[in-house]
Structure 1
Amino acid sequence: MLIVSLLILVILLWVALFKYGRRRMYELAAKVTAPKSERPLIGVAHTFLGDTEDIMTRLQGYSYEAMSSNGGMLRGWLGHILYLFTVDANDIEVVLKTHMEKDDLHRFVQKTIGYGGIFAPVQIWRPRRKVMVPMFSPKILENFVDVFSLQSEILSRKLEARAGKGSFSIWTHLSSYTLDSVCETTLGIKLKAQDDPKTPFLFYLNKLLDLITQRIFHLWLQPDWMFKLFPQFVEHEECVRVLHEFTDQVIKKKREELKIEKIARPEADSYCQLQDYKNKSFLDLLILLSGGERGYSDEELREEVLTLIIAGTDTSAVGIGNTLKLLAKYPGVQEKLYLELRHVFGDSDRPLVKDDLPKLKYLERVIKETLRLFPPVPFIIRKVLTEMKLPSGHVLPIGSGVVVSIWGVHRHPKYWGPDADKFDPDRFLPERFQLSNPCAYMPFSNGPRNCLGYQYALMSMKTAVARILRSYRVVGDEESSPNPQMRVKLNIMMKAVDNYSICLEKRDR
């Protein structure tokens, strides 16, 4: 009995000391609006027990609660861990510029693909960012349009078998298109996933993203020792093995090719200049710009390559899918877009070339409005390492995490007016698009750690949507409301629950 009493006393003492050491956090958190679902001890942890659709619905609800709260901020305790949920563009701008360390929840991504630029700690991210920046220059990216165009032609031919045959999920077609495009531009290889949608790489990639999402939101899967007790662990390790083996083989082959080229071209040391490397793949550029044989190790290359593949494949596919879903709901917008395509391409069935993209201005507005209402990455989480007062007056306590709701700020009436939930591509007309803060629209983040691949993704999306609409009409239930409804889930990125079920009809020429 004495031992039990001592044990209880020790536990109570530890809890008291733990809370005393965090008294400043509790003091500052108490000044932030609490969500309606908050409970003692567990906070809001109980609200994330459902599937990925339930999780996304809950986070959308918190975004709307934050809009109406004091200073656009909401608190959320996950047990003893504090998160501050913000939809205020001015606060977001300060957070993204000054708090660049990713939150600890990113460790579940880091455990699978390593320290790629998006997920790396600051001390690793900073020097790697300098290597990546020149890779995404316009002169290099425009050389990839031919790849997008060719792959979109293949996509259009593959869809012909589904046209006029009712509803079907276009997700596999879209993700195969983006994976083929990304593998050719990133790795310099032709994967031909569109010829074989069941390619293992695509299957295990989608499975891995689902498993990572489960670990992030299900507390019992977070400790490594506990995760190993669940069947998901075996699936997780198999996914990692397949993805790592594939990229390691490509990197090894690329190293050998560059060695042969260096022997054949002794002057190759100078081909890091723009005029030499603009036609190469991202993997070529990573090797060359990091210092060649003295640059990135094979492991570092794998980390960066996998990050590019995951980001490039899902982001573009989700953006294309959401655009098609909205065009089905709003046939008037689709017809206006088709008229623009006819104006640029006429009756010709020629492939798209890079000079066509700047002419497709309405298409760009449609895609940008789609990205506003349905951003592929709806939330960003940053770690607070130093206490800071924000423009709203809220103070961020050390040890907390800041959840930047891109979904929320994109639909905030403060920045987009009372019709913020309405689908209106013309709000991106130059004369109308005037924001008080650049962080009011940030589908690919903002600040020093923004996504370098923004223009790459836009090129891929515009090319695919243009090709599909030139050949097919997207049909579906017309939206009776100007505010589009779509059931979405959170699998690292935000995706349609129905895996982008649409109907296509062949256009008569």
Structure 2
Amino acid sequence: MLLVLLIVLLPLAWMAMFKYRRRHMYKLARPIPAPEVELPVIGIAHKLMGNTEDIMTTLSNFSYECTKHNGIIKGWLGHILYFVLINPADLEVVLKTCLEKDDLHRFLRKVIGYGGIFAPVSIWRRRRKILVPAFSPKIVENFVEVFSEQSERLAERLDARADTGTFSIWPYLSTYTLDSVCETAMGVKVNAQGNPNSPYLLAMNKVLNLVCERIFHLWLQPDWLYRLFPQYPEHQRCVKIMHDFTDDVIKKKREEIKNQGQNKTKDYDLGTYKRKTFLDLLISVSGGGEKGYTDVELREEVLTLSVAGTDTSAVAVGYTLKLLAMYPAAQEKVYKELHEVFGDSDRPLTKEDLMQLKYLERVVKESLRLYPPVPFIIRKVLEDIKLPSGRILPAGSGVVCSIWGTHRDPKYWGPDADNFDPDRFLPERFNLANTYSFMPFSSGPRNCVGYQYALMSVKTAVSAVLRRYRVVGKEETSPAPTIRVKLDVMMKAVDGYQLALERRRPKPTANGTSKIIN
């Protein structure tokens, strides 16, 4: 009888002590509203048990709910307290002071290690100092030649799908961005566009899906338990493919630099390095040789660039093309601008051309506003923080910074916040009360260092496609587009970016004459 009593009382006593130690957290959290779907003990966990589309729907609904509660709501994920924020003034404080990434990022670290985006602050500070100069605009703009060459290949590959009906353009976009990233980041031509079944690309796409599944399903989170599930061997297989490929590239690059005697260079000159890859720059700028990045550190940074650069740019291109198919009037304005710059020529795009494509840039930015590739950023709260809105976030909690929500908040974007309107980015109209209202590549000290790189890649690819093809889809009658989305670390379209292409010019026939395509 005594044993039974102890078995009952000890867990209750432990729970009481646990809650007593966290009483400050409960006190500060109490005034902040919670979603109606929250349940005792498990909180909102049951709403995050569906597929990746269900999870994105839940998180976007939480973001919309924030608009009713002064830009903030709370939610318990089991015993872990999270706040969802959309108020840009609050987000500015969080992103400038809460620099430590949430523990949920540990599942991504198992794939790419301590790359700059996901590294703890102690590691991130050192590496950020090295990454920033490597991504300076004068260096990045020299990669336009690579983007242009790869986008031409993209357009050529799409010719086989033109005038054939609807298809998923995602495989074409992801191979374009992987080829571009691998060439600029590592100096390697993987020819993913020529081989869509590239083991590296397939492994990367699969492992990101597995990571997202693990983040949102509590029973997959403990390492010891995850090893018992069938996903674990597949996860390890994909990680090995990615690591082996990157390690081999780094080894060859080390040998190449050693043979050229460049590993003795401590500083870099822009004229010398402007044609070099990011891997060259990281080896040289970090000190080279034994004083610089280790092979593991190089692998972590290169993998981070590969994963972030490939999916981010491909997703952005996909949404931009999808929106232009839904709004053909906007597409024709982009094509008219392209025609003014290129005429009827087939010449490759140059960095000077990008400066003239003003409307295209507005379209891309509006696409990034409505469908940001990374819709949520999660940070740790290590100390109590008082927000400009008056709320206090308690130490020990986590913050979900909803880029999706702040980009669609009528308080800052007007009653038409959900509408597709590229001209809202006209200089005379784009006058935000807080710059954190628009941050498709995050903001603050830990923002994405490669945002200029991504924008160049996206604009180059979109221009290459639209110069040759008219993008066709179901025309949207409402000014507010609806695209079903899912969360696979990045936010992607459920349908794989289904659309159709029509040639803008006649296709040559076998005898050299032109066949008119209606």
Bin for the TM-score computed over the shorter chain:
over 0.9
- The CA distance in 2 between the partners of 1:112 and 1:204, in whole Å, is 11
8 Å CA contact retained: 1:319, 1:461: yes
Secondary structure of the residue aligned to 2:433 is: coil
- The CA distance in 2 between the partners of 1:496 and 1:16, in whole Å, is 45
Secondary structure of the residue aligned to 1:299 is: helix
Quote the residue 2:298 is aligned against. 301
Matched, 1:286 2:282: yes
Q: Which runs of 5+ in 2 are unaligned?
A: 507-518
Structure 1 segment 237-248 matched on structure 2, within 5 A: 237-248=236-247
Secondary structure of the residue aligned to 1:403 is: strand
Quote the residue 2:516 is aligned against. none
Matched, 1:479 2:479: no
Structure 2 residue identity aligned to 1:343? E
Structure 1 residue 275, shift from structure 2 partner: 2.0
Structure 2 residue identity aligned to 1:425? P
Secondary structure of the residue aligned to 1:195 is: coil
- The CA distance in 1 between the partners of 2:159 and 2:274, in whole Å, is 34
Quote the residue 2:272 is aligned against. 276
Quote the residue 2:460 is aligned against. 463
- The CA distance in 2 between the partners of 1:223 and 1:203, in whole Å, is 26
8 Å CA contact retained: 2:265, 2:287: no
Quote the residue 1:360 is aligned against. 357
Quote the residue 1:109 is aligned against. 108
Normalization by structure 2: what TM-score? Answer: 0.96
Matched, 1:187 2:180: no
- The CA distance in 2 between the partners of 1:231 and 1:38, in whole Å, is 30
- The CA distance in 2 between the partners of 1:454 and 1:493, in whole Å, is 15
Q: Which runs of 5+ in 1 are unaligned?
A: none
Quote the residue 1:258 is aligned against. 257
Structure 1 segment 167-178 matched on structure 2, within 5 A: 167-178=166-177
- The CA distance in 1 between the partners of 2:36 and 2:294, in whole Å, is 49
- The CA distance in 2 between the partners of 1:461 and 1:42, in whole Å, is 41
8 Å CA contact retained: 2:266, 2:287: no
Matched, 1:12 2:12: yes
TM-superposition CA deviations, 1:339-390 (whole Å, max 9, x none): 0000000111111011100000000000000000000000000000000110
Matched, 1:53 2:53: yes
Structure 1 segment 83-482 matched on structure 2, within 5 A: 83-262=82-261, 269=265, 272-293=268-289, 294-482=291-479
TM-superposition CA deviations, 1:247-299 (whole Å, max 9, x none): 0000000000011001xx79x52662222112100000010011101211000
- The CA distance in 2 between the partners of 1:497 and 1:290, in whole Å, is 41
TM-superposition CA deviations, 1:32-90 (whole Å, max 9, x none): 01111111111111001100000000001000001111x21000100100000011000
Structure 2 residue identity aligned to 1:288? S
Structure 1 residue identity aligned to 2:282? L
Quote the residue 2:29 is aligned against. 29
Structure 2 residue identity aligned to 1:26? Y
8 Å CA contact retained: 1:271, 1:277: no
Structure 1 residue 4, shift from structure 2 partner: 2.3
8 Å CA contact retained: 1:211, 1:232: yes
- The CA distance in 2 between the partners of 1:124 and 1:86, in whole Å, is 27
Structure 1 residue 8, shift from structure 2 partner: 1.9
- The CA distance in 2 between the partners of 1:115 and 1:235, in whole Å, is 22
8 Å CA contact retained: 2:175, 2:193: yes
Quote the residue 2:498 is aligned against. 501
- The CA distance in 1 between the partners of 2:8 and 2:272, in whole Å, is 70
- The CA distance in 2 between the partners of 1:476 and 1:272, in whole Å, is 48
- The CA distance in 2 between the partners of 1:329 and 1:199, in whole Å, is 31
Structure 1 residue identity aligned to 2:235? H
Structure 1 residue identity aligned to 2:429? R
- The CA distance in 2 between the partners of 1:346 and 1:36, in whole Å, is 57
RMSD: 1.0
Secondary structure of the residue aligned to 2:457 is: helix
- The CA distance in 1 between the partners of 2:274 and 2:21, in whole Å, is 54
TM-superposition CA deviations, 1:90-141 (whole Å, max 9, x none): 0000000001000000000011110000000000000100000101111101
8 Å CA contact retained: 2:74, 2:81: yes
8 Å CA contact retained: 2:341, 2:356: yes
- The CA distance in 1 between the partners of 2:76 and 2:375, in whole Å, is 20
- The CA distance in 1 between the partners of 2:207 and 2:233, in whole Å, is 11
Secondary structure of the residue aligned to 1:6 is: helix
8 Å CA contact retained: 1:207, 1:239: yes
- The CA distance in 2 between the partners of 1:489 and 1:270, in whole Å, is 45
Quote the residue 1:74 is aligned against. 73
- The CA distance in 1 between the partners of 2:421 and 2:163, in whole Å, is 28
Structure 1 residue 427, shift from structure 2 partner: 0.2
Following TM superposition, where does structure 1 have runs of at least 4 consecutive aligned residues deviating by more than 2 angstroms? Answer: 268-271
TM-superposition CA deviations, 1:140-194 (whole Å, max 9, x none): 0111000000000000000000000001011010000000000000000111000
Secondary structure of the residue aligned to 2:82 is: strand
The count of corresponding residues between Structure 1 and Structure 2 is 505
Structure 1 residue 9, shift from structure 2 partner: 1.6
Quote the residue 2:43 is aligned against. 43
Quote the residue 2:487 is aligned against. 490
8 Å CA contact retained: 2:334, 2:359: yes
Structure 2 residue identity aligned to 1:280? K
Secondary structure of the residue aligned to 2:396 is: coil
- The CA distance in 2 between the partners of 1:338 and 1:118, in whole Å, is 36
Secondary structure of the residue aligned to 1:193 is: coil
Secondary structure of the residue aligned to 1:74 is: strand
CA gap 1:271/1:96 in 2 versus in 1, 3 angstroms: closer
- The CA distance in 2 between the partners of 1:408 and 1:92, in whole Å, is 11
